[in-house]
Structure 1
Amino acid sequence: MRAKQHEFRLIQLLLLKYATTDADVRVALPLLRYAPTTQNSRVKAFRVGSDEDPKAISMDKAMDREDQNFVIETAYRQIFFHAFKIDRDTILESQVRNGQITVRDFIRSLCLSDTFTRSFYNLNSNYQVARHLVEKLLGRQVYGKSEEIGWSAVLMTRGVKGMVDDILNSAEYLENFGYDTVPYHRNRVVGSRVVGETPFNITSPRYEAYYRGILGFPQVVYSGTVKAYPERARQRRGGFPEDYLSWVRNLPAMRIGGSGSGNTSMDYMSKVPYRSVGR
């Protein structure tokens, strides 16, 4: 809650800065400037192809209906993590199959859908939503907290629609994905490291920590059958530590209430052999 108050106060100060002469009329904030820090997505990959290489899923390469369905499923996973039957939009799917809309338009409709608003936007802060949209639409991590604040200001003043339109119309999106390619995690392989970048669905889950605590996540639900050990597995065949417990308790060192002549009064220094320097 403190983070939300800090965010609201920051946006309020920015609104006052860009306010017009009329106190009741305010213009929308432009995207604040941020430094494009060096990241993996901005570095050219000089390597041999591997399984970690990004795979572009494009509609213009879909030859049959099965390939078209694969492109649509990839778009759903990119935005929703997983699309249930109730989350699907058959009208949009039909339009993108028939070429009436592009994949870019399909991605935009998913970001502005009721499913995204209800199950993600309403349950997270502006920082989390801005980070999620940058990662999912641009295929890279945000350039630090400065970019999060910049997009949060756009999200605060123009809503999700304004931020999504700015990202999809940006030169970075069009150069990397164009109109018919589903956005993907760009260049996950990191030089001089065995493991690449962590996928976005792990680093940026659907619910942030505040709402995960309210909903009681994580929950472990096991729907399988509990298997019991057979009777023959319970028979002791030697080697069990419990079989030697009584013997260990009868050892002199383990007896309680002994004679009292312990080793605490022994002069250990007198037992150490002494050798003079002349010898």
Structure 2
Amino acid sequence: MASLMTAQRLGIEPFSDSAPVELYPGSASADAEVVIQAVYRQILGNAYVMESERIAVPESQLKSGSISVREFVRQVAKSELYRSRFFENCPRYRAIELNFKHFLGRAPNDLEEMRAHSTILDNQGFDAEIDSYIDSDEYNQCFGENVVPYYRGFSTEGNEKMVGFTRLFQLYRGYANSDKACGKQSRLNREVIQNTASPIYIGSTSQVIPGISGGGRGQFYRLSVVQAAGAGRMARIRKSSMEYLVPYEQLSWKLQQINKQGGKVTSIIPA
């Protein structure tokens, strides 16, 4: 989905071309240190970690090979550092939406997911809530034992709702910002409760890619598209600019079609 706009304009350039960070069996200590830093960055929401805040024993266990990356993620997530930053000082639904972001790399899909995790907190407590993500089939399929969780929601995946793409932008506030600095208020309460998608604002401009499920029924949008001429020696020179007038109900389908045809959407505005 991110190929519809350049990653730079959307603000996700640091993630668009980055390979997942993985620790292979028998890796050197320097490789383990790279993984440790990646885990802190992802699980703690890009917040700065002081030397005195690092969890030394699990770090040593990871470097020695006695625990996996998944278990190191679990130790960081259950640490007092994580708990104090993203659980004890946050409203419940803010804590849950950040758990989805930090551990599964996506935004919650719907209110039922949020309620299910709220029930876990009520009945089993904080540690069980953390385990429910890290021991899930989804975590296992996406990251396994040795891959550091990363933001999956910036690209479309099979069997995933496209609404998650728009919602992750509400949770992701740019590579220079941290979840600790972005406040304690939930960013998705209204969208999740109303089952609507969030608008995506491009960079610091007021241009917006509308949400693609919920709101705007009957609205038309004007899409400006640059389409490459196709394969051949002159393909880099000859490009065609086109506009489409698309009803809201067909917007998601049309964007996917343009993407498959190699087009680049330069603007989406209400008609």
Interval containing the TM-score (normalised by the shorter chain): 0.5 to 0.7
Moved more, 148-157 or 170-179: 148-157
**Partner of residue 97, structure 2:** 131
1:105 is aligned to 2:105: no
1:187/1:129 CA distance change after superposition, 3 Å: closer
Would you tell me which structure has more strand in proportion to its own residues? 2
The 2-side partners of 1:155 and 1:87 are apart by 25
**Partner of residue 261, structure 2:** none
The 1-side partners of 2:33 and 2:171 are apart by 23
The sequence identity of aligned pairs, in percent, is 24
1:159 is aligned to 2:125: yes
Q: CA deviation at 1:178?
A: 0.3
Verify the 8 A CA contact 2:21 2:147 in the aligned structure 1. yes
**Unmatched tracts of structure 2, length 5 or more:** 3-12, 158-164, 187-271
Q: CA deviation at 1:180?
A: 0.9
**Partner of residue 93, structure 1:** 59
Would you tell me which structure has more helix in proportion to its own residues? 1
Structural RMSD (CA) = 3.0
The 1-side partners of 2:153 and 2:67 are apart by 28
Q: Which has the larger radius of gyration?
A: 1
Number of residue pairs the alignment of both structures matches: 160
Q: CA deviation at 1:199?
A: 8.0
The 2-side partners of 1:109 and 1:199 are apart by 27
**Partner of residue 198, structure 1:** 169
Q: What does 1:49-64 correspond to in 2, within 5 Å?
A: 52-53=16-17, 55-60=19-24, 63-64=27-28
Moved more, 124-133 or 181-190: 181-190
Deviations 1:52-83 (A, max 9, x none): 14521111178432221110000001111232
**Partner of residue 142, structure 2:** 176
SS of residue in 2 equivalent to 1:123: coil
Q: What does 1:253-268 correspond to in 2, within 5 Å?
A: none
1:209/1:167 CA distance change after superposition, 3 Å: closer
Verify the 8 A CA contact 1:185 1:199 in the aligned structure 2. no
**Partner of residue 203, structure 2:** none
1:70 is aligned to 2:70: no
The 1-side partners of 2:99 and 2:26 are apart by 26
* TM superposition score normalised by structure 2: 0.52
Deviations 1:90-118 (A, max 9, x none): 11111001111111111111111111122
The 1-side partners of 2:95 and 2:23 are apart by 27
**Partner of residue 146, structure 1:** 112
SS of residue in 1 equivalent to 2:120: helix
The 2-side partners of 1:118 and 1:189 are apart by 31
The 2-side partners of 1:138 and 1:86 are apart by 27
1:199/1:59 CA distance change after superposition, 3 Å: farther
The 1-side partners of 2:173 and 2:26 are apart by 29
SS of residue in 2 equivalent to 1:60: coil
The 2-side partners of 1:144 and 1:93 are apart by 35
The 2-side partners of 1:59 and 1:190 are apart by 25
1:118/1:127 CA distance change after superposition, 3 Å: same
* TM superposition score normalised by structure 1: 0.51
Q: CA deviation at 1:145?
A: 2.4
The 2-side partners of 1:110 and 1:199 are apart by 24
